[in-house]
């Protein structure tokens, strides 16, 4: 099947007074229809930046320096602003972390939904209202007909995030980028939102890029997972494989340092040090200074391309 989205060697650069920073450096992946790709990494790893580049929301001076982004085989990274606006919302939906700031506080949610529907689909005002109501019902807002006239502040955090999801899906996009959609929510509500996102995307055949720092959320929701470190893909593969037999030492360290993984042990496994700053990247593999298995080759040569799913000169064996 043709991929919904293809990202090829994407490089995002930010020119500064002290040289050019590369928050995203040579990222490539494909996304099949209906697939959920989890993008995981620590803060500053470039996971949100990749998502923003796809939807064309990079804040200047950040810009795409090279590489291609293809949506249904059509290049979208070099489209003029006007064309891109038609794609945003119509073909790519977006769910952000904070549902309060992604809704207009001065408009009732029903109007926000029907406005979006009318912008992207050729329907009458009445039809748009009906669709908006159906969308609210679909995301599980109780008494949706009465809540059409409610303002965002009248909803709780979880309900607001449901409205945002309805908004992202109402024009029936083929791709949704969800950037930390549950980070601001409580555990019990988080479980509801994840289940909702999974169900809707399955029903509509929508592909999802799920950006999060929470490995648990990824394990629950994603089909495939991409692990990012210092702007580069460290590892990509089916979620079960990556989580149970990680091949990149960083993935291994990340999973090992989660408290859930050390139940019964006195100490947590920790990765020494911190992620390097973008203006002080080491010459070789970016993870080499923290890597327990690093050898001279890792410190001298940049890491190899993703071979067998992991960008590492010495990928870990499945057995270890």
Partner 1 sequence: MSFVDIRHLTRVFDVSKPWLNRVIERLPKARLTAVSDVSLQIEERSVYALVGESGSGKSTIGKMLVGLLPPSDGQIEVDGVDLATETDAETRDRMRAEIQMIFQDPYASLNPRWKVRDIIAEPVAARGSETRGLAERLLEQVGLSALDADKFPHQFSGGQRQRICVARALASEPKLIVCDEPTSALDVSVQAQVLNLMSDLKDEFGLTYLFISHDLTVVRHMADRIGVLYLGQLVEEADSDTLFEDPKHPYTQMLLAAAPKLDSFGREEEPPTGEIPDPINPPPGCVFNPRCPLATDLCRVERPDMRQAGGTRVACHMVPPG
Nearest residue to 223 (alpha-carbon basis) of 94, 33, 1, 50: 33
Does 158 bind partner 1 (CB under 8 A)? Our answer is yes
Does 156 bind partner 1 (CB under 8 A)? Our answer is yes
Residue 104 phi/psi, 5-degree rounding, is -80, 120
**From 75-83, 116-124, 211-219, 294-302, span contacting partner 1 (CB under 8 A):** 211-219
| ∠ Cα 38 42 47 (to 5°) | 50
- Secondary structure of residue 225 in the 3-state scheme: strand
Residue 145 phi/psi, 5-degree rounding, is -60, -40
Scanning residues 178 to 197, which ones bind partner 1 (CB under 8 A)?
A: 186-192, 194-195
How far, in Å, CA of 249 to CA of 87, rounded?
38
Cβ 123 vs Cβ 162: under 8 Å:
no
Nearest residue to 99 (alpha-carbon basis) of 187, 179, 209: 179
Does 137 bind partner 1 (CB under 8 A)? Our answer is no
Rg (CA), the chain: 21
Q: Which is nearer to partner 1, 67 or 158 (CB)?
A: 158
Residue 85, C-beta contacts closer than 8 angstroms, at least 6 positions apart: none
Does 280 bind partner 1 (CB under 8 A)? Our answer is no
Does 263 bind partner 1 (CB under 8 A)? Our answer is yes
Does 270 bind partner 1 (CB under 8 A)? Our answer is yes
Residue 302, C-beta contacts closer than 8 angstroms, at least 6 positions apart: 283, 284, 285
Of 213, 245, 299, 314, which lies in the binding site for partner 1, with binding defined by CB under 8 A?
A: 213
Q: Which is nearer to partner 1, 43 or 126 (CB)?
A: 43
Does 150 bind partner 1 (CB under 8 A)? Our answer is no
Does 101 bind partner 1 (CB under 8 A)? Our answer is no
Q: Which is nearer to partner 1, 80 or 259 (CB)?
A: 259
Does 100 bind partner 1 (CB under 8 A)? Our answer is no
Residue 91, C-beta contacts closer than 8 angstroms, at least 6 positions apart: 71, 72, 173, 174, 175
Does 318 bind partner 1 (CB under 8 A)? Our answer is no
- Secondary structure of residue 114 in the 3-state scheme: helix
Q: Which is nearer to partner 1, 40 or 135 (CB)?
A: 40
Continuous segment of H or E residues that includes residue 207: strand 207-212
Per-residue contact string for residues 229-248; x = within reach of partner 1 by CB under 8 A:
----------xx--xx----
Of 62, 178, 215, 288, which lies in the binding site for partner 1, with binding defined by CB under 8 A?
A: 215
Does 257 bind partner 1 (CB under 8 A)? Our answer is yes
Per-residue contact string for residues 17-56; x = within reach of partner 1 by CB under 8 A:
-------------------------xx-------------
Count interface residues toward partner 1 (CB under 8 A).
Answer: 43
CB of 304 to partner 1, least distance (A): 23
CB atoms under 10 Å from CB of 265, counted, come to 9
Q: Give residue 180's region: left, alpha or beta (phi > 0; psi -120 to 50).
A: left
**From 17-25, 69-77, 173-181, 266-274, span contacting partner 1 (CB under 8 A):** 266-274
Q: Which is nearer to partner 1, 159 or 208 (CB)?
A: 159
Does 106 bind partner 1 (CB under 8 A)? Our answer is no
Residue 227 phi/psi, 5-degree rounding, is -100, 125
Residues near partner 1 (CB under 8 A):
42-43, 156, 158-159, 186-192, 194-195, 213-217, 219-220, 239-240, 243-244, 253-255, 257-263, 266-272, 274
């Amino acid at each position: 099947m043709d991929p919904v989205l293809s990202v090829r060697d994407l490089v995002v650069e930010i020119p500064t007074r002290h040289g050019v920073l590369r928050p995203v450096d040579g990222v490539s992946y494909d996304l099949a229809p209906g697939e959920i790709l989890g993008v995981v990494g620590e803060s500053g790893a470039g996971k949100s930046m990749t998502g923003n580049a796809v939807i064309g929301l990079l804040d200047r001076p950040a810009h795409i320096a090279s590489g291609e982004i293809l949506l249904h085989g059509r290049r979208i990274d070099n489209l003029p602003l006007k064309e891109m606006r038609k794609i945003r919302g119509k073909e790519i939906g977006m769910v952000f972390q904070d549902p309060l700031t992604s809704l207009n506080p001065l408009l009732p949610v029903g109007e926000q939904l029907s406005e979006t529907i009318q912008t992207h689909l050729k329907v009458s005002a009445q039809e748009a209202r009906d669709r908006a109501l159906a969308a609210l019902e679909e995301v599980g807002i109780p008494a949706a007909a009465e809540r059409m006239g409610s303002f965002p502040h009248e909803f709780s955090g979880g309900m607001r995030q449901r409205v945002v999801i309805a908004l992202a899906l109402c024009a029936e996009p083929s791709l949704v980028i969800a950037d930390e959609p549950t980070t601001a929510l409580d555990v019990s509500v988080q479980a509801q939102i994840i289940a909702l996102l999974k169900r809707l995307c399955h029903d509509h055949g929508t592909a999802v890029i799920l950006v999060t720092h929470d490995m648990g959320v990824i394990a629950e929701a994603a089909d495939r997972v991409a692990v990012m470190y210092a702007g580069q893909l460290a590892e990509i593969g089916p979620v079960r494989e990556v989580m149970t037999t990680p091949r990149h030492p960083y993935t291994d360290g990340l999973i090992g340092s989660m408290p859930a993984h050390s139940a019964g042990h006195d100490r947590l496994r920790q990765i020494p040090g911190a992620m390097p700053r973008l203006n002080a990247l080491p010459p070789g593999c970016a993870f080499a200074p923290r890597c327990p298995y690093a050898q001279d080759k890792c410190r001298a040569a940049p890491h190899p391309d993703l071979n067998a799913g992991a960008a590492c000169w010495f990928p870990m064996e499945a057995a270890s």
